[in-house]
Structure 1
Amino acid sequence: MRQHALMAIAQVTEPDSAVYYTDGSVDPDSRRTGAAAITRGTELCEGTSNHCSTLQTELVAIQLALEHAHYRQEPTVMLHTDSRAGLQALQQPHPKDNVGLITTILGILQSISVQGRQVNLLTQPPRELLVALR
């Protein structure tokens, strides 16, 4: 299944775009956590502190993708995530939780924007990926 998803990701190409897929995970039994971002043949993975919340792991995954995208040259960054809560947290004018993580992500977004590049944060995976996963 994972291999099919990676193949589908490789097939979904946006011209002149860096395309990323992110996910954070919490194992409910062991409470082990981690975050990952995938882009054209590159897997970015990071273990997070055990007992992190799902929101925190999702935000770390977004951060991983944006840190990687910061050093790329494509004019557009397409970031696909299944974390609506993560995107909502990034839109809060005065966040009370996860302030350091949110501030870091917003700083990276601003840095990419200053380069004259655009970042699109999308909450639904592309249709091609959904079809490949079936």
Structure 2
Amino acid sequence: MASSAAFRDLQRDLETRANELSKLQKEIASHHQRRKTYTIQLGENELVLKELDLLNEGANVYKLIGPVLVKQDLAEANANVRKRIDYMTAELKRVDGILQDLEAKQNSKKDGILKLQQRLQSLQAGTGKA
């Protein structure tokens, strides 16, 4: 009888850990999506910076604000794009750090679940023999 109560407790614990792992995996997926977005935006801004570097000093630069193109100074446009690149690079580093931490937690949870499953199997094998 005591073994069946222990078995139920282990099953409940396993279910709880599996749910925690599932939540963690969803959070990891969300951060991967965020990382992908920043990577795409960074690439686009680096391309814009290359194009701006090709322009002459007196070239006209326009910025799209809503449905309107607004004339902008080349130096100002260059500075704005560089700031965005710096911001996105910093965000990518931050998201990478978060992902490393979450993936370490995920691996730890997986190990815990595996050990719990092994305990359940050994308990089942012991109960089946008795």
Q: TM-score, normalised by structure 2?
A: 0.23
Higher RCO structure (Cα 8 Å, ≥6 apart) = 2
Q: TM-score, normalised by structure 1?
A: 0.22
Greater strand proportion:
1
